[in-house]
Amino acid sequence: MDLHFLSDMGISHSQIRTEARLAIPPLTIGNWIDGEECYASSNRRFLKLNPRDGGLLAQVTRSAAEDVNFAVIAASRAARAWDARGLDSRADYLLSFQEAIEECFSVIAQVLALETARSERDAEAEVQAALDLATVILNESRALGNLQSLSSHNSQFELGYRTPQGVAAAIHSGALPFLHFMRAAYAALINGNTFVWKPSKAVPCLAAALSEITKECCFPDGVFNVVYGSGEETAQALVSHPSVDLIDFVGSPQAFRQIESACSNRSLLVKTISNSIPVIVCEDANLKTAARTTARSVFDKESKFHDVRDVFVHESVYDSFRDLLMRESYRYQPAPLLTERKLLRLLKSINQLGSGKATVLSGGYRLMDESRKSGNYLAPTVIEVREKREQDLPDVSAPLACLHSVRHIADAVKMIGKDTQLPSILIHTRNHDLAREILYSSKAASVVINGCAERYALPFNDEYFNRFSIYTSVIRTNGDDDSHSDIR
């Protein structure tokens, strides 16, 4: 274990048990391919900086198409043997992996908190939610072994078989990175697929730590692979590779459009779009409560539940709500953006907003005081939007609220109805019938009334799980040979 790197990352040595399986990643991080660390053939690297103070956390290899090809070939070679191990054996590997994470729970949480500039309590909540989700997936996989006799009539039996897709690739953003990783990796591996992960550039230390855990858990070579790099180069090389059989994508609508255009077969894509959660403030709302909870969701670095940006306010209460929200925004110290590049893109977009489309009411500049001048901090920003256009502001998690005045609440529903896979809509009203109506007329998974969205409401369902395998039913008679009827 690299104690020097631990001290560089600000992680307490006393919190690391000697027997813990986790090996904290070194200052230089390479791809994880075929069970070992290796560097990009071009030897190019990118820097992972601390979002809080700009300090160097790691130098990370930057993969090109050639490096992606190595990872996919390794996964392809390992696919048949991994599937042949059977469901019970694969579940044992994943259970061992889960137990190893539980042993080094605090360390994983500290690495996640450091890389994403979140509080350690918030990171611990995500790690625990991911472990709980892994348990759900392992329990779900038990149903695979119960498909041998789905029905029987007279002398015939319907036997079910699940065949893995093959090589499953995952391309994830920095939004809840550990939770999305566990969901995709467990669904892919338990179904018999091998796995190639392109994590966000925001969490290379987390990805390297997880790679080390797979080694300690004796995962077969080639089953689990990690390639680092940019979306424009590494991710697009991965989605266009002919040997990739399934792609799990998590990211913004803009990033998905780029991935979709590069994908050789769009039917392979399993997408989770990270839309921001809209807020609707009705004319009968308690404005003080609405302003306080909205400000907390947008600006508070310690209790940020989900990304909240667009706030739709009935025109009769718009002015009062706007003033209250601006007053509340000054109470919070914002969390830094993950990278300086994201901050500069956002600042450029804010500065280019035309006076006819939007007005910056507060903030809109980089915080440069003594304690934050080296970090990626945006002042709490409130923008009054008169003409919503998706391309005006990049989809970046930031302490930014965009206010929209609407004549009818139905207009707000129409505006947000263009988005898909919304985890929630936050609505402030005393009329619960209206809240239900908004839920039914929108595509959101839930409506939260007069409060904040749940912290880690990441849905997991059979439809998502079943994408990682192909189900086939075969009708057998009693006279058939049942010696090969076991479900793998």
Q: What is the DSSP string of 180-249?
A: HHHHHHHHHHHTT-EEEEE--TT-HHHHHHHHHHHHHTTPPTTSEEE----IIIIIHHHHT-TT--EEEE
311 vs 300: which has the higher pLDDT: 311
Residue of 253, 210, 203 lying closest to 228 (CA atoms):
203
Picking from 186, 225, 226, the residue whose alpha carbon sits closest to that of residue 94 is 186
pLDDT in tens, 90-132: 999 999 999 999 999 999 999 999 999 888 888 998 999 999 9
**Is pLDDT of 25 > 60?**
no
Whether the pLDDT of residue 148 is over 60: the answer is no
Indicate whether 232 pLDDT > 60: yes
Amino acid 356: pLDDT? 65
**Would you state the pLDDT for residue 327?**
93
Per-residue pLDDT at 142 exceeds 50: yes
Sheet holding 469-477, edge to edge: 151-153, 156-164, 469-477
User: Residue 456 has what pLDDT?
Assistant: 53
Q: What are phi and psi of 212, to 5 degrees?
A: -65, -35
Mean pLDDT of 61-72: 96
pLDDT of residue 447: 79
Residue 169: strand, helix, or coil: strand
Please answer whether residues 425 and 448 qualify as being in contact, where contact means their C-beta atoms are separated by less than 8 angstroms. Answer: yes
Place of tokens 């070579």: 221
* Res 397 pLDDT > 50: yes
In terms of pLDDT, which residue wins out, 133 or 27? 133
Tell the residue number behind the tokens 């009411």, with chain if given: 361
Q: Which residues contact 113 (CB under 8 A, 6 or more apart)?
A: 119, 120, 122, 123
CA distance 9 to 24: 10
Mean of pLDDT values over 412-429? 75
The pLDDT of residue 470 is 78
pLDDT at 315: 94
Report the Cα–Cα distance between both ends of the chain, in Å, rounded. Answer: 37
Task: Give the chain's count of helices (H) and strands (E).
Answer: 15, 20
How high is the pLDDT of residue 18? 30
Q: Which domains does the chain have, with CATH numbers?
A: 3-274+459-477 (3.40.605.10), 277-418+424-449 (3.40.309.10)
CA distance 426 to 278: 6
**Average pLDDT score over residue span 309-338:** 91
Structure tokens at 465: 């799980």
Q: Which of 359, 394, 401, 399 is nearest to 376 (CA)?
A: 399
Identify the residue with better confidence: 439 or 473: 439
Mean pLDDT of 176-188: 94
For residues 420 and 56, the model is more confident at 56
pLDDT at 374 over 90: no
Which range of 167-171, 252-256, 335-339, 360-364 scores highest in mean pLDDT? It is: 167-171
| In the predicted structure, residue 58 carries a pLDDT above the cut 60 | yes
User: How confident is the prediction for the chain on average, in pLDDT?
Assistant: 82
